[in-house]
Amino acid sequence: MSNANVLTLIGALLAGYFLLGLPVAGTFLAAFGPALKIIAILTVLIFAVVLIYKGFLEILGKR
């Protein structure tokens, strides 16, 4: 797995994490607050699982 691919996955994971803590109260995005939380949680979970899966494949030597 290339470093660029890993960095992209880590970047997406961090984006989901920061989206989770994004304060939207008092903005036009306040109506989408619950949906943004769900999207952020799913993003973090999905990219964390993909990183763990890719790591296991790399450890086992099955690229």
Model confidence, pTM: 0.81
pLDDT exceeds 90 at position 63:
no
Give pLDDT tens digits for 10-52. Answer: 999 999 999 999 898 889 988 999 999 999 999 999 999 999 9
Per-residue pLDDT, 48: 94
CA proximity to 32, closest of 19, 47, 14: 19
Q: Which of 44, 19, 49 is nearest to 34 (CA)?
A: 19
CA proximity to 5, closest of 44, 62, 45, 63? 63
- What are residue 53's phi and psi, to 5 degrees? -60, -50
pLDDT at 24: 87
